[in-house]
Amino acid sequence: MTIYFPIDESSLIAGWVESFIWGVYSVLFGLSIRQIVLNGYSRFNKVSTAAIIILYCLATVHASLVLARLIQGFIVYRDTIGPVAYFSGVGYKINLAKEAIYITAIILGDSVVVWRLYVVWSKNIWVAMLPILLILGTAITGYACIAQWELPTVNYTDSVFWATAMYSISLCTNVVVTITTAARIWYMIYQTERILGVVESRYFRVIMLILESGFILAAAKVIELTLFELTGDDETYGGNKAVWIVLESMPQLMGILPTLIVLAVNTGFTRKDGIYTVHPIEPIVFAQTNHSRRHGEADATLDNVSIGSLVELEDMGDALTKKVRGLSGVGIRVDGLVP
């Protein structure tokens, strides 16, 4: 059975939903900036802070354009073009500007999760190479979709093709990055527990926040792509246009999730920004004890080891396991789990 959800109703509900999410986003963004100021400018992470500021600006402009379109569709052009025809007109300048901001927000949001992957993998550029190429694919297909509407003759089928490619590539980026990041973090936790015997609980809180935000975003993109495919491949006023509710909310979601992570870190949910790579801040000291040793074997203790965020445990794991028999006085520090 075909679901009839006209575009004028969908656009109105989308505006309400986006306005509500933007209000929540604004509160979280304000709290994040306040906490950054309180913590001191010299201590905040420039990459993550710049990202959430730009994302918030894009989300705010996007929400403003959505509300402006509602005013034009239901008031300014109500008796001339009509709401249904107006909201179906993708080629209007205000709509193209809104879609350009949407695509830019998607690209920047995907870049944030790819940066996080890059950091988690000890800044290994080869691991991040595929996601970077996927982001480039998202940019090309997204802006090509908008460019279709600037041509003298618009081919709606081509526009749908480019849009479908953009949604699919962006979804693939988030799924690949989330799974790869989760696998890396799980491996580091496993190695840390195996070698050091304990991982403090505060790590799990922020790690789960990062992973859950990735899964939420991936789920939203699945819904977005599914609803877009349900709209059909022809330019009609009727049918199921529920996709607009998700589309208009995506710039808010792309910004609100990394903002939550920054807020959690800066409010003490864990400590400040750093790298997931584990490296001893002070040298490992192996001390001979007073106890007798069979075959001259020394007892090893690891004193005052600080972990900057989960050393390449793969590189040092086997060596530590063989040499270190007892671990004492181990202090673990996570300097932060945001990009």
In terms of pLDDT, which residue wins out, 198 or 25? 25
User: Residue 204 has what pLDDT?
Assistant: 64
Token pair 């894009």: residue: 58
274 in a structural domain: no
Note whether 6 and 238 are within 8 A (CB): yes
Question: Taking Cα atoms as reference points, which of 47, 18, 52 lies closest to residue 260?
Answer: 52
Question: Taking Cα atoms as reference points, which of 171, 159, 151 lies closest to residue 110?
Answer: 171
In terms of pLDDT, which residue wins out, 200 or 109? 109
Residue 148's CATH number? 1.20.1070
Give tens-digit pLDDT for 35-80: 888 877 655 677 888 899 999 999 999 999 999 999 999 999 888 8
127 in a structural domain: yes
Give tens-digit pLDDT for 120-167: 888 889 999 999 999 999 999 999 999 888 887 777 788 888 989 999
145 in a structural domain: yes
310 in a structural domain: no
Going by pLDDT thresholds of 50, 70 and 90, the confidence category of residue 8 is: confident
Average pLDDT score over residue span 322-331: 38
166 in a structural domain: yes
Backbone angles phi, psi at 5, to 5 degrees: -135, 90
Backbone angles phi, psi at 280, to 5 degrees: -65, 130
How many angstroms separate the CA atoms of 265 and 267, rounded? Answer: 6
User: Residue 293 has what pLDDT?
Assistant: 44
82 in a structural domain: yes
Number of domains in the chain: 1
144 in a structural domain: yes
Burial label for 151, CB within 10 Å (0-12, 13-18, 19+), is exposed
How many angstroms separate the CA atoms of 12 and 167, rounded? Answer: 23
Kindly report the number of other CB atoms within 10 A of residue 330's CB atom. Answer: 16
The chain-wide mean pLDDT, for the chain, equals: 75
Lowest mean pLDDT across 48-52, 94-98, 191-195 = 191-195
169 in a structural domain: yes
Give tens-digit pLDDT for 250-275: 999 999 988 888 787 777 655 444 43
Note whether 313 and 287 are within 8 A (CB): no
Q: Which domain holds residue 163?
A: 7-266
Amino acid in position 160: V
pLDDT greater than 70 at residue 333: no
The number of CA neighbours under 13 Å toward the Cβ of 160 is 13
User: Residue 281 has what pLDDT?
Assistant: 41
End-to-end CA distance of the chain: 46
